[in-house]
Structure 1
Amino acid sequence: MTDVIKKESLLKSVVFLRILIGWHFLYEGVIKLFNPDWTAFGYLATAQGPFKSVFIALTNEATMGWVDTLNTLVLIFVGVTLILGIFEKWGA
C-alpha cells in the first residue's frame, strides 16, 4: 500500500516539475518573441571557455538575426512540449 502511494506521489511530483520547468521555458521564449529589442549578442560576445570562438563567430551581423530567432523558437518549443508531455525526448 505505501509503495503505491510513494509511486503515485513521485509521479505527481515529476509531472509538476515538468510543467513548472516547461512554463519557465515557454515564458522566456514568449518574452523574447514580444520584445523587439532583445538579442543574444551580449551573452554570446562575452562567452568564455573552450567554445568562445564559436560563440563569437555567431555574433556577426549576418547570423545574429538567425541566432535570435532560433533561440526564441526553441525556447517556445521546449516549453510547450514539456507542458503538454509530447515529444519529450526532442524537448529535452
Structure 2
Amino acid sequence: MKKWFIMLGVLLLSLAPAVPAFAAPVTAPAPIKVYIDGVKLSFSSGSPYLQNGSVMVPFRAVFEKLGLKVGWDPVGRVVTGTSPELSLKLTIGRRR
C-alpha cells in the first residue's frame, strides 16, 4: 500500500509542471472605443467601461459631438440633450 502512495505522489509531482500550460492567460480587457461618423471620440472625463454586460459611456462628449446642448436637472436627476430638431432626456436610475 505504501508503494502505491509513493507512485501516486511521483505521478502527481510529474504532472505539476504541466498544469500552468492548461491555464488560460489573464489579459487586461481592451479599451472600449467609440466612433461617431467614423471619427474616434475622445473623453476628457472618464473612459467607457463595461458594467454588468452594458457599456457605460460618458454622455457629455457624445451629446456635444452630435451637436446637442447638454443640460442637467439635479432635482429630477435628468440629463438633457437638445437641439432645434431633437430633445433627449435621460433619467438617472431608469432603464428607459
TM-score (norm 1): 0.25
TM-score (norm 2): 0.24
More strand by share: 2
Greater relative contact order (Cα < 8 A, sep 6+):
1
More helix by share: 1
* Rg larger for: 2
